[in-house]
Structure 1
Amino acid sequence: MGDTRPTPIEQAVPDRAGRSLRWRRFPVGPGQRAAWAYTEVVVSRRTRFQRVEILDTVAFGRALFLDGLPQSAEADEFIYHEALVHPAMVCHPRPRAVFIGGGADGGALREVLRHPELERVWLVDIDAELAGLCQQYLPYAPPALFTDPRVTVTFGDAYEALMGAGAGTFDVIILDLTDPGTPLSRRLYTPEFFRAAGTRLRSPGVLVVQAGSLRLTNLDAHLEVVRALRGAFRTVRSYSADVPFFGEVWGFAFASDDLDPASVSPEEVDRRLSARGIRGLRFYDGQTHTQLFALPRYVRTALGEA
């Protein structure tokens, strides 16, 4: 696939008041950059697997970067994590067993734990040191999430962990991975992996994955993820959410042999959320569910769906 986002550029630029703000500038496509001003480097450390930075940004609060790539930020991480988790969890009639690949920052786990039917969730992330730093420094990753009695946390290779699980083990598989094409995640986006993951799902079952940018000039990685999923599942639906911290609209993919999120009405989404006692969401509800899957024509054309 290849990494779709180049190495960031660091610059110090004075603001109008003459203060020397530090800026993280990042190319997001041909001739285009996103930029974040920050006031403090809270953490800058290389773990065994990746470079971890936690910065206090001016616009988005405390934010996590891995190998220079933006991952999540205090101000709007709820958009990304609610969009990743709840369409799959709500479409499933009774999600009792969930696998999370990646997700060391705890946001996906937090959203999964809102669902009262949940009996067990297995989170597998390769980087124990990253998880510890997130729990220590990110306000949206409290340590209590990881000690919930329904939660098992394993620090290791999510690929090997899922391959070692028995057939029909999970209701929902959530892949909260680094970008398609990055070294740590590359083989978790392959057709072979998706086919094997599908056998680990019960019927009905859902796999959802973050699937890269949906920017007009930067669609290739998303299209490759969707092609790989189509080789493994009967129904594959792309969807998107505008995540301001990423500087672009972000893509996700829902895959299942049994369930189709397009068939679930806004009223039914709201009814299921209410029946499960899920309150306090800041992004996702029935109306948002419908909007997530209403892709612009250029995306549908690229996907062969227009």
Structure 2
Amino acid sequence: MLGVTIIQGIGRSSSMIMKIKELHVVHKSKFQEIIIAEIEEFGLSLILDGYIQSTQADEFIYHESLVHPSMVLHPNPMKVLIIGGGEGAALREVLKHNTVNNAVMVDIDEDVVELSKKYLYPIHQGSFFDKRAKIVIEDGKKFIEEAESGSFDVIILDLTDPYSSDIAKQLYTTDFYRKIYSVLTDDGVMVTQAGSSFFYRDVYMDVYQAVKSVFNYVLEYQVWIPSFGYSCNFILGSKKYNPMMLKPEDIDTILKNRNVTTKFFNGYKYLSFIYGGIY
């Protein structure tokens, strides 16, 4: 594989070139191109339509940042829904919380899920096979539209970027967030990844305004993801709980009481999310 590279899209006219050490899978599903490869400096990686989704070297930064702020904000998250997240890493983080007795992961692309099960164990770490987990192969938008009101305490949207595909765009609209709101319990919390506010400021602001128009409390934060080549943005929406009221020591206590171990996320990291600013 000497000399083979992958071009990772960053912005509208910016890219990052990475050297591939070993290519495991190149597959075209009904929805997207799927590549699983060993990338120099980043290790085992999942790439969808030219966008890196997870690498073994730094996926924990992304997935811990996506999952745990919403999970610790809710005092007792028992029923959790993940839309997307086909490699199983968001599911892995959700299942760390001992309050969870039902975690549903919905992904539109069965091929991503099955290939991840086979090739990406170091990333999903067996989360697909946890007795509390249920994997549903379905369009996330359709699943939400048909779900009963008040079904979930926390909803996590682990999607491809809002500007990466037509499929993704549908899951970043005001109408979709209104439906998310109705599917949540009365004190429910949701979070979505929202791409890059630096390279796609206009798209990001549309997503932010859509969440803000629906939820009582909104927290926007960003985290540098080396393999993405940019700071990834996240937007949290809460019906009842103000994310600004959580103190670092409260978060650390919650994580300890729930037996959650992390490599990146903790109380003081959350504080940096709140006061770190957005480009």
Whether TM exceeds 0.5 here: the answer is yes
TM-superposed deviation, 1:214: 3.0
Q: Deviations over 1:177-224 (max 9, x none)?
A: 111031222211110010011011112110100111132x43222211
Where does the alignment leave 5 or more consecutive residues of structure 2 unmatched? none
Match of 1:245 among 189, 207, 227: 227
RMSD: 1.6
Q: Deviations over 1:95-146 (max 9, x none)?
A: 0000100111000000000000111011110111110111111133447322
In 2, distance between residues paired with 1:38 and 1:77? 17
Aligned partner of 2:267 in structure 1 is 286
Match of 2:143 among 161, 164, 168: 161
Amino acid corresponding to residue 294 of structure 1 in structure 2? Y
More divergent stretch after superposition (170-179 vs 256-265): 256-265
Aligned partner of 1:206 in structure 2 is 189
CA contact (8 A) 1:107 1:140 kept: no
Secondary structure at the aligned position of 1:222 is classed as helix
In 2, distance between residues paired with 1:141 and 1:59? 16
Secondary structure at the aligned position of 1:186 is classed as helix
Aligned partner of 1:110 in structure 2 is 92
TM-superposed deviation, 1:40: 2.0
CA contact (8 A) 1:135 1:143 kept: no
Aligned partner of 2:54 in structure 1 is 72
Q: How does 1:253-292 map to 2 (within 5 A)?
A: 253-279=235-261, 281-292=262-273
Percent of residue pairs bearing the same amino acid type? 36
Higher gyration radius (CA): 1
In 2, distance between residues paired with 1:73 and 1:49? 21
Instruction: Check 1:29–1:123 CA distance in 2 against 1; reply closer, same or farther (3 A cut).
Output: closer
Secondary structure at the aligned position of 2:194 is classed as strand
Instruction: Check 1:68–1:31 CA distance in 2 against 1; reply closer, same or farther (3 A cut).
Output: closer
1:135 aligns with 2:117: yes
Where does the alignment leave 5 or more consecutive residues of structure 1 unmatched? 1-11, 13-19, 300-306
In 2, distance between residues paired with 1:212 and 1:142? 22
CA contact (8 A) 1:74 1:139 kept: no
Secondary structure at the aligned position of 2:181 is classed as helix
Amino acid corresponding to residue 272 of structure 2 in structure 1? Q
Secondary structure at the aligned position of 1:213 is classed as coil
TM-superposed deviation, 1:274: 1.1
CA contact (8 A) 1:170 1:202 kept: yes
CA contact (8 A) 2:92 2:125 kept: no
In 2, distance between residues paired with 1:195 and 1:273? 30
TM-superposed deviation, 1:27: 4.5
Q: How many residues align?
A: 278
